[in-house]
Each structure stands twice: as structure tokens, then as C-alpha cells.
Chain A
Amino acid sequence: MQTLESEPQPESSGRPLVVTLVALLALTLISWAISHLDLGMASTLVALAIASTKAGFVLHAFMELPLAATPARVVVIVTLSFIALLCAGTVTDVALR
């Protein structure tokens, strides 16, 4: 969200927001339906993959990350890197138990 105060903005369409809402609700339905399938351990990975996709949609369309200034995007990248580090540490810990 990078609009600047006192700076006239061209009127944008709200269509991407509606499309994103429909996509998010569809993915929620898919996630719920898949939870009824017996995928074993893969069910958690599939559920998290769908959740990540949904989070990506929210970041992209609702939070307008692509329009954010570079320092803000760096903050997001650093945060995601720390989470990746945490995931790697947790997986390593579990694997070496």
C-alpha cells in the first residue's frame, strides 16, 4: 500500500479484490475437501502449501506488497528468511532425535 498523501491517484478498479476474494474462498473450500482424503503425512504439506498460496494472495492483492517500497519488501524477505531458518532448525531437530 504505497499511495502518497496529497498526491492524486488514478482511480483503480476493485475487480482484482473481488477476484482475490473468490480465489481465497475457493482455496478454503479445496483445503477443507482435501482434509477428508487420506493422504497420510502429505495432508499436512498439502494444507500448508494451500495456506501459503492463500497468504501470497492476501500479501499481493490486499496488502499490495508489489507496490510497497523496497525497504518494506526487504523486511518481508528478511522475515520469511527467519521463518525458513526456524523451519530448517525444527526439521533438523526432529530428524536427528
Chain B
Amino acid sequence: MTEVIYSDPRQRTHALHLGMWMFLGSETLLFAGLFGLYASYRAEFPSEFAVGVAHNNALIGTANTAVLIISSFFVAWGVHSIRGSRRRPCMISLGVAVLLGLTFLVLKSIEYTEHLRAGLAPGAHFSSTMLPARGFALFYTLYFVMTGLHALHVVAGITILTWLAIRVRRGRTRRDHRTELELGGLYWHLVDIVWIFLWPLLYLTHR
């Protein structure tokens, strides 16, 4: 079908890349709205948000930042490898990125469990007696919405990278079919960028 629409492979590649960049733009604006909400509520409840940030597990947050950055590198390395027709290093790179993505989710679930046990749940389920004010409830509601939405993107990214790794393993992604790897890589890098901003706002800025 695409061959009929695009007589020139260049056109197809350009269209696919442009489509992905537009999708990533819309995804970025989705998160931007949540960041705007965070900024607005933080201005209204500065001390509660600062205490909420200090209460979060900075070690897990920081470890997850390193995990996603390294995974992003491996995805970029996978794309670099397939351009050189090196299937095996590409497959290994994607596999490592998937494992790192799963590591991120495991660490996140440990953190979620800690919060929920302490009653730091989103919305009406917030029941902490340690941090009782309304500002804390808002902070943790935003925390769960922002990190939860991001985690869903991580799950989607892991699924895409796994599918790509399987295709590379089966030899279906050859050097002349690398566009799909580049597009999958772009998505994963956006997931990394979103976390790069979530991390300081939810784990570091406690002063």
C-alpha cells in the first residue's frame, strides 16, 4: 500500500518521521498540561509540595533516572548498529533497553507500594495521618497521575522495543528497513525526556 502512495522511498521515510514527530509533539503537550497544573498547585501550596518531595524516595527516583538514561543510550546504540547492518549488537542493545525499562517499572512499583501502605494514595483515597493537609493530597494525586501516565508510556515503549527486537532477531528488520527502529527509538527517547523533568520536580526540589 505504502509503495503505491509513495513512489519514492524518501517520501515515505520523511512522512513516517514527520508523523512520529507530530505524535511526539502531541504527547509532549499532554504532559505539559500536567506540568502546568503541578506548577500552579505548587505555587498555592509551596511548603506542602516541598515536604511531599522530601518525603519521596530520592534514591529510587535517582536510580530510575540513571536507568532510563542508560536505556535511551542502548536504544540509540541499537539504531546505530542496524545502520551498520549489525543485527546482533542491535538485538542485544534493544534487549538491554527492555530489561532496563522493566527495572524502572519494578522500582516504581516498590515506590508505589511504600506510598500506598502509608496512605499516600491519589484523590479521595488519601488517608495519611502523617501528612494530613490538603496540599499533600494534591501533591500525591499529581504524583500518581504524572508518574502513572509516564509508566503507561514506559509499558508501551517496552512493548514496541520488544517487538522490534524480535523482528531484528528474525531478520525482518534489515538495514533497508531501519526506519521502524528509528521511530521506535524516538518514542523511547521522549519517555526518557519526560522523566528527566519529572525527576527533579518530584524528588529533588524539596527546599
Could you list which residues of chain A lie within 8 angstroms of chain B, going by C-beta atoms? 1-7, 9, 11-12, 14, 17-18, 20-21, 24-25, 28, 31-32, 35, 38-40, 43-44, 47-48, 50-51, 54-55, 58-59, 61-63, 68-69, 71-72, 75-76, 78-79, 82-83, 86-87, 89-90, 93-94, 97
Contact = CB atoms under 8 A, between A and B. Distances in A.
A38 B189 CA distance: 32
A72 B33 CA distance: 22
A86 B177 contact: no
Interface string B153-183: 0000000000000000000000011110011
12 contacts: A9-B83, A17-B73, A35-B200, A51-B200, A63-B185, A63-B186, A63-B189, A68-B21, A71-B14, A75-B18, A76-B21, A90-B36
A9 B84 CA distance: 8
A83 B62 contact: no
Nearest to A84: B32
Secondary structure type dominating chain A contacts: helix
Interface of B: 9-10, 12-14, 17-18, 21-22, 24-25, 28-29, 32-33, 35-36, 39-40, 43-44, 58, 62, 65-66, 69-70, 72-73, 75-77, 79-80, 83-84, 176-179, 182-183, 185-186, 189-190, 192-193, 196-197, 199-201, 204-207
Contacts of A17: 73, 76-77, 80
A18 B76 CA distance: 10
Given A72-B18, A75-B18, A76-B21, A62 B40 contact: no
Contacts of B12: 5
Given A35-B200, A78-B25, A28 B66 contact: yes
Nearest to A69: B14
Given A14-B80, A21-B73, A2 B17 contact: yes
Given A25-B70, A50-B200, A62-B76, 12 more contacts: A3-B83, A4-B13, A14-B77, A35-B58, A47-B205, A48-B197, A51-B199, A62-B75, A71-B14, A71-B18, A82-B32, A94-B43
A43 B207 contact: yes
B69 A21 contact: yes
Contact of B204 (A32, A68, A79): A32
A11 B193 CA distance: 27
